[in-house]
């Protein structure tokens, strides 16, 4: 090897060491993470927890001590919206919110919750890890000053539950009082499906179902199980009507203060953490279904014809509401991204069948 090649090799190795290892006696750079979920993993439980713990382990190990992660769980620093604001201000460096709370900051985030948009979790994740997700991340960064490091899903798709009536079509919802969060799009969706929407708080929902203030509700399987809603809601329709995200956000000024090597570590950690969260969520959903079937809860899976009825009746109402704050261009590009993801997935599988 020539002398200049040896020099280049030495410089490259030295630079990689400097980028990762802290200087002797230097304090590690602290990453404070605030989130709303518990501190430790329970099963079934919140996917945010394994995500955060996996990220912490990877970041601290791979950085050889130059980075330290300090986790603040259980909404100890405030609810989800204040934690986004704390991340914007640089009081904490990282947080993991969810879609509905992100929409007031960037209205375009609402495209990810268009009802019946995604065929399944695979398609949703491929869209968010593709060009549309990149563009949304760029818009989020521009408007909030926080960087999307990864796009893990929330607790999966939202489902529909009632106290004692199996819902097979929009006609079955007519006149039923369904608790819906104060999300304009979801309220429009269930009103269009014929339900009477009720907006009691999440903490009041169990009592509202017991007393007849509400006849049913819609949320993710894990959330319904965690709050014991299946004690008062005995039927569930696997409608998959809306999908939730729980992106990992980091203060951009802090991110840019990191060395190139540290940035790489943080980005890799976020992606690995997302894998942990997404896989955990799938296992949790199955466990919740099996657990509640044994407890006597009836689960119904609409056929394609029934799903078409829900889609045709409800999707337009959501889009009409969304179009008041989001341009037609964004809505169109979302549907195009989903169609392309579906086509690419099918082509990839077909090629492997040969």
Q: Are domains 27-154+245-286 and 157-243+298-321 of this chain identical in fold?
A: yes
With contact defined as beta carbons under 8 Å apart, do 167 and 173 qualify? yes
The burial class, CB within 10 Å (0-12 / 13-18 / 19+), for 238 is middle
Res 7: pLDDT: 35
What kind and span of H or E run contains 178? strand 177-179
* Fold category of 157-243+298-321 in CATH: D-Maltodextrin-Binding Protein; domain 2 (3.40.190)
Res 26: pLDDT: 78
DSSP-H helix ranges across 248-327: 252-257, 260-294, 304-322
What residues contact residue 162 under an 8 Å CB cut-off, 6+ apart? Answer: 176, 178, 215, 216, 233, 234, 235, 237
Domain ranges of the chain: 27-154+245-286, 157-243+298-321
Written as tens digits, the pLDDT of the chain (354 aa) is 444 443 333 333 333 433 444 445 579 999 999 999 999 999 999 999 999 999 999 999 999 999 999 999 999 999 999 999 999 999 999 999 998 899 999 999 999 999 999 999 999 999 999 999 999 999 999 999 999 999 999 999 999 999 999 999 999 999 999 999 888 999 999 999 999 999 999 889 999 999 999 999 999 999 999 999 999 999 999 999 999 999 999 999 999 999 999 999 999 999 999 999 999 999 999 999 999 999 999 999 999 999 999 999 999 999 999 999 999 999 999 999 999 999 999 999 999 998
What residues contact residue 181 under an 8 Å CB cut-off, 6+ apart? Answer: 100, 199, 202
Per the omega criterion (within 30 degrees of 0), is the bond before 44 cis? yes
* Fold category of 27-154+245-286 in CATH: D-Maltodextrin-Binding Protein; domain 2 (3.40.190)
Res 111: pLDDT: 97
Res 20: pLDDT: 45
Res 106: pLDDT: 97
Rg (CA), the chain: 22
Res 25: pLDDT: 59
The burial class, CB within 10 Å (0-12 / 13-18 / 19+), for 63 is buried
Residue with tokens 């369904």, as numbered in its chain: 178
């Amino acid at each position: 090897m020539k002398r200049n090649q040896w020099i280049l090799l030495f410089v490259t190795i030295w630079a990689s060491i400097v980028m990762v290892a802290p200087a002797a006696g230097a304090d590690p750079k602290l990453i404070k993470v605030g989130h709303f979920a518990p501190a430790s993993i329970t099963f079934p439980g919140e996917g945010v927890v394994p995500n955060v713990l996996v990220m912490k382990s990877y970041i601290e190990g791979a950085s050889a001590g130059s980075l330290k992660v300090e986790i603040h769980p259980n909404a100890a620093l405030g609810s989800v919206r204040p934690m986004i604001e704390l991340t914007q201000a640089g009081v904490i460096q990282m947080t993991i919110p969810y879609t509905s709370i992100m929409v007031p900051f960037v209205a375009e985030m609402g495209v990810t919750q268009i009802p019946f948009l995604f065929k399944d979790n695979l398609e949703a994740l491929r869209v968010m890890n593709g060009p549309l997700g990149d563009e949304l991340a760029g818009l989020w960064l521009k408007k909030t000053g926080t960087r999307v490091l990864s796009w893990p899903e929330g607790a999966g798709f939202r489902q529909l539950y009632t106290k004692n009536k199996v819902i097979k079509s929009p006609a079955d919802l007519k006149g039923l009082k369904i608790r819906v969060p104060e999300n304009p799009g979801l309220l429009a969706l269930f009103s269009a499906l014929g339900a009477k929407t009720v907006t009691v708080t999440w903490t009041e929902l169990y009592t509202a179902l017991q007393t007849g203030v509400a006849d049913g509700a819609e949320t993710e399987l894990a959330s319904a199980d965690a709050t014991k809603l299946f004690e008062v809601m005995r039927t569930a329709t696997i409608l998959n009507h809306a999908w939730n995200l729980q992106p990992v956000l980091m203060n951009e000024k802090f991110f840019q203060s990191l060395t190139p090597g540290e940035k790489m570590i943080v980005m890799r950690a976020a992606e690995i953490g997302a894998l942990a969260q997404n896989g955990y969520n799938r296992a949790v959903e199955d466990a919740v279904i099996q657990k509640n079937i044994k407890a006597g809860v009836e689960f119904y899976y609409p056929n394609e014809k029934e799903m078409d009825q829900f889609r045709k009746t409800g999707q337009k109402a959501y889009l009409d509401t969304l179009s008041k704050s989001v341009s037609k261009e964004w809505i169109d590009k979302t549907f195009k991204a989903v169609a392309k993801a579906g086509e690419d997935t099918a082509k990839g599988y077909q090629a492997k069948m040969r």
